[in-house]
Each structure stands twice: as structure tokens, then as C-alpha cells.
Structure 1
Amino acid sequence: MNIENMEAFVYVIHFGSFNKAADALFLSQPSVSARIQSLERELDCKLFDRIGKQVQLTEEGKRFLPYAQQLLQTFQKGKQHVQQKKKLPDELRIGCTVSVANYILPQLLPPMKRKYPHIQFKLQTGVTDDLVNRVLNKEIDIGFVRNVNHPNLKSVKLIEDPIRLHVYEGHPFIGNGRLTIEAIGHEPLVFFECGALDWLRIHRIFESLNHPPQLEIQTDNSETAKKLVLQKVGICFLPGLCARQEVAEGKLYPIEFPETAGISMQTNVIALQGEFSEFLQAFAELGRERLAKP
């Protein structure tokens, strides 16, 4: 069945005349009449009664109308979907920090792949400054980085991940209601240093203690730091996402101090201004949905 004939039928009904339908379709009135006649031959029935310049639906036309409208809407939606897919890239190049690669993207990429099944996702890791430059140079399309501001970049907040002291199972800090921040100075400490500004606040807390912490090991890898805590080498300040599974399993325990409240590690997703906006929005929505869960 010719979709153009169906379109002419619906337009005549909507505008109330062949002439107005022809104007809306940028056709001549005889062309619209020809399309209606062709549709009537296909259906083997008369769709309109013509009374002078007025047209009126026949009973057959009234019965066919809802099906014609539905078919036309389905065609238009399908056309839009196909045209949208043509605009999407075949490959999306994503750059991210190591912590994002370990704890964030494994939660976000499966639903993104379901939403965009025809796109290949290519991942690369790096530090924030390097990733920003690679986005600006169009070497990658999307970047997951620390909070940055740049006039040529669109930056959307993905998650604010609280940083807390984590101790291993059986540690004396667990359940100690009289614990103060000074107690950290008497414990061996594994220090995860990510370079973000919020970590400077933790350094300042250390400087304010009467007994500075016993720094046993320093590392820039959160997974290494976490495993050292699990091995009871020391205790460590870690982002929540890093330790979420171990906390749920009772292997690690977060300890709250007023002095460290509000310290967090923010992750943003960035792209060049005016580019890949659909993906920035999709990642941000998934972040709110999946990363905020305890």
C-alpha cells in the first residue's frame, strides 16, 4: 500500500478539503485527488462523498481512518528513528581515569550498549589533564575526568563520591563511639593519592594532628590501596564506589569523622561544546540512576 496515498487521505480529513490538503503537501489538487482515487482502488471502496466543494467521509472511510492514522504515525516514527541512527557514530571513543574504568564504566556501559547496540565503545585510560587535552584535540569523543572547567568543553557532573576512612574487619575503630580524629595518628596508614583538590583537605587534617599518621605505603591506585587494607597493612581513606562491594560484604568498614565530612571526589563527563550532547545526557542519567544506589 502506497504511504503517500495514505498521507493524502489523512491530510484531506485533517484540513477538510482537497485544496487545503494539496497546499499542505505542496501538491496540486489533481495530484491529491489521484492519490485518493488510487487508495480507493486498493481498498475497493469509496472513502469520500463529494458534495459540491465539500467532502464527507463515507462509513467505509470512517472505519478505515484510525488504521490509516496509526500506519502513518508508525511510518513517521520509523523514518525519524532511521534518520537519527544515521547521525550516530559507528564508534564512540571514551577516555577515563583508572578509577572510572574500575568502578563506574562497568556499571554504565552495559545499559549504554543496550541503548545503542550498533555503536562500538572504545575505552582508553589516562589522567585528567591528559584526557582533557585529548578531547580538545578530538583524539577521544567523551572524557570521564575530575571536575574541570574549560570554555571549549561541555562538562556534566556525573557523581560526587564521598571519601571516608575505611578499616578492615575486626579493627578496634569499628563501633567505637568515643573515637576522635586524633586516633588516626596512632594507626599505620595506607594513603591513596589521586591528586584531586579534595585530597588536600585530608593532608591539612593530618597536619593538624598532634601525632601525624604513620604512612606505611603511598599509592596512586585505589585498587592497590584497598587490597592493602584488606591485607591489614593499614587503614585508608577511600572513595565510596571503590569500597562499595567490600563494605556490603562486611570486609571493610567506613568510619565517619566530622573533620572529613563533605570531602568527596567528583567525576564529570566532558565533550567538546555542541558535540556528543546525547551521550553526555545519557551517561549523566545513568549515573544518577545506578551510581547513587548504596
Structure 2
Amino acid sequence: MEFRQLQAFCTVANTLSFTRAANILGYAQSSITTQIQQLEQELNAKLFERLGKSIVLTSEGECFLMYAKQILHLSMAAKEAVTGSATPKGSITIGAPESFCVHRLPLLLQEYRKRYPEVKIALKTGTCSDFAYWLRTHTIDIAFFLQQESHHPELITHTLFRDPMVIAAGADHPLIQKGTITPSDLHGETLILSENGCSYRVVLESILAATGAYPASILEFSSVSAMKQCAISGLGITLLPMIAVSTEITSSQLVNLNWVGPDFNIYAQVGYHKDKWLSPALSAFFNLAIEIFSHKTKTLA
């Protein structure tokens, strides 16, 4: 088993394309195919399944990917430990919710790139449950969570700031006339929510269930922009971070329904897996996130 085979395997697994992997690594496609075949022969397992013109990881491939990434990470750690270089370089992969990517992350990335221009950054959006899994499987190096403050035994986390949430609806929604709303006011209403696994959706649904309030229907989206547009169009009521809807509320496209129910207690946290080797690049990013958001909390919130 050679490092170049592991690198080829991880690149194909990330791109799900032999052609793109070959372009990234600077090899001929036939060379990538040969390296994967040699790896499969040594492991006596099929790592990829061809479905028409597409490829997917087999269950054996998914299992092996976690170990292959760890081996490559440890190899990088060993090289940097021996050379003694503390200059951040290499690459880091960040997980973050869409709203965080749009409204919070650019400030941090701009400052990080200014300080450490040699580091390449990749970004994956998803839900908090996605991030916990991706950190465990080394798919990402670090993640930002929007959730109730928690301390997962597998993760090293730091709370950055409280993120206010808003229950909002289009300008013509009947509930605007109430002035304030409680969980019971959402009984029988159409809710526009983010996909399953989103922490603040889980919090809202648990609050409603505890008070016996159940929506008539739920429109589920992975896009914050789609959620806002549907609410503006009068299709239902949405729950989003205040910063994600502040522009629409200021322009009166959306109205804050003034929730007086239980507090959502949503906080922004940054974290990485407890067994993760902190490269200079990753350590610098973690520390800068704390520096930036600790100083900017009042402005951001």
C-alpha cells in the first residue's frame, strides 16, 4: 500500500470522478485507474461501484476512506514535526451552515487569507448532524455549529456568541395582528423550515410538541434564500437566524412575529474532533475564529 495510491483513492472518493482526480493530481487517467485497481487487489475488496457513467463508494470503500484520510493526515503531521515548520500552509476543510457561510464566515476568511495566504481552504455546507459525522470521518477538519450550547465528548468546541433567532412571516400574514406569538399560535400553521438535522429546527419542533402545538404542514428546504422567498410570498412562517433576515425585515418584506415562547438558546460554536492533529494551519484558523468573533460579537449579533 503506497501513499500515492491512498492519495489517488481519497481524491477519487472526494470528486467521484477518475477524470477530475487525474486532473487534480497531475496523472494520466489510466494511472489513477491502475492505482485504484492495485489498492483493491491488495485489500481484496471493491472500493467503487460504477452506476452508468457515475461512480459511488461501496460500503467497503466508505469504511476504508476514513482510515486512508487518517493515514495521510498522520503522514503530513510527521513531515511537519520533523521539519519543524510552524508556518501555516497546506489545506483545511471547513463545515458550516449556509446562513453562517453567507453572513458570518466572509469576515473570518478574509482576515485568515490575509495572514496565511499559503493555506488552501475548502468549504462544505450542511447541518449540525452532518458536521459531527464529517468530523468523525475526517471529511472536514473543523466546523461551525449553530445549536443549543453543548459539549460533545468526541469534540473540542468553543462557544463564540449567542445567535438570536426570529420567527418571521410575509407582510400580509394574519398573525402579525397579534403583536406577539407563543407556541400555540403556530398550531395548524404552515412552517417553512430547514432540512432535518438542523439544530434550531429540532429545538422549535420540541417546543411545539411539548405544548401540544402541531403545524398543519412543513415545507422543507436546504436553501435559506428559498425559505425566505417562500415566507415573503405568503406560503408560511419561517425560523431563521436574525442576521439572515435582517435585510428583509428592514425592507418590510418579512415581519418579525415577536416570539415570546421559550428561548431557543442558539449559540455559534467552533469545534474539531478530539483526536484531530492540529496542523499550524488548523490551529491558526481555530484561534483566529475565536479572536474575530469574540471581538465582533456585538456587531454580528
TM tier relative to shorter chain: 0.5 to 0.7
Q: Per-residue displacement from partner, 1:115-166 (whole Å, max 9, x unpaired)?
A: 3233222222344344334434544332223556444532112333233210
Contact 1:104/1:291, CA 8 A, preserved across alignment? no
Contact 2:88/2:118, CA 8 A, preserved across alignment? no
Contact 2:160/2:268, CA 8 A, preserved across alignment? yes
Query: Structure with the greater relative contact order (CA < 8 A, sep ≥ 6): 1 or 2?
Result: 2
- Structure 2: runs of 5 or more not aligned: 1-82
Contact 1:156/1:280, CA 8 A, preserved across alignment? no
Aligned residue pairs: how many? 211
* Cα distance change, pair 244–279 in 1 and its aligned pair in 2 (3 A): same
Partner of 1:195 in structure 2?
A: 197
Share of identical aligned residues, percent?
Answer: 21
* Cα distance change, pair 86–212 in 1 and its aligned pair in 2 (3 A): closer
Larger CA Rg, structure 1 vs 2: 1
* Cα distance change, pair 127–143 in 1 and its aligned pair in 2 (3 A): same
Is structure 2 residue 289 aligned with structure 1 residue 280?
no
Partner AA of 2:121 in structure 1: F
- Aligned 1:170-209 pairs, distance under 5 A: 170-174=172-176, 176-177=178-179, 181-185=183-187, 187-196=189-198, 198-207=200-209
Q: CA deviation at 1:214?
A: 2.8
Q: CA deviation at 1:228?
A: 0.6
* Cα distance change, pair 116–267 in 1 and its aligned pair in 2 (3 A): same
* Cα distance change, pair 198–123 in 1 and its aligned pair in 2 (3 A): closer
Contact 1:166/1:237, CA 8 A, preserved across alignment? yes
| RMSD (Å) for aligned C-alpha atoms | 3.4
Q: Per-residue displacement from partner, 1:221-263 (whole Å, max 9, x unpaired)?
A: 4332222101221122222232132223332222223214x20
Q: CA deviation at 1:108?
A: 2.5
* Cα distance change, pair 131–204 in 1 and its aligned pair in 2 (3 A): closer
- Aligned 1:1-294 pairs, distance under 5 A: 86-146=86-146, 149-151=151-153, 153-174=155-176, 176-177=178-179, 181-185=183-187, 187-196=189-198, 198-207=200-209, 212-215=214-217, 217-260=219-262, 262-273=263-274, 275=278, 276-290=282-296, 292-293=298-299, 294=301
Partner AA of 1:279 in structure 2: F
* Cα distance change, pair 118–255 in 1 and its aligned pair in 2 (3 A): same
Contact 1:93/1:141, CA 8 A, preserved across alignment? yes
* Cα distance change, pair 232–149 in 1 and its aligned pair in 2 (3 A): same
- Structure 1: runs of 5 or more not aligned: 1-82
Partner AA of 1:202 in structure 2: L
Partner of 2:59 in structure 1?
A: none
TM-score w.r.t. the length of structure 2 is 0.57
Contact 1:189/1:213, CA 8 A, preserved across alignment? yes
Q: For 2:261, what is the secondary structure of its paired residue?
A: helix
Partner AA of 1:263 in structure 2: F
Q: For 1:87, what is the secondary structure of its paired residue?
A: coil
* Cα distance change, pair 138–188 in 1 and its aligned pair in 2 (3 A): closer
CA distance in 2, matches of 1:239, 1:194: 17
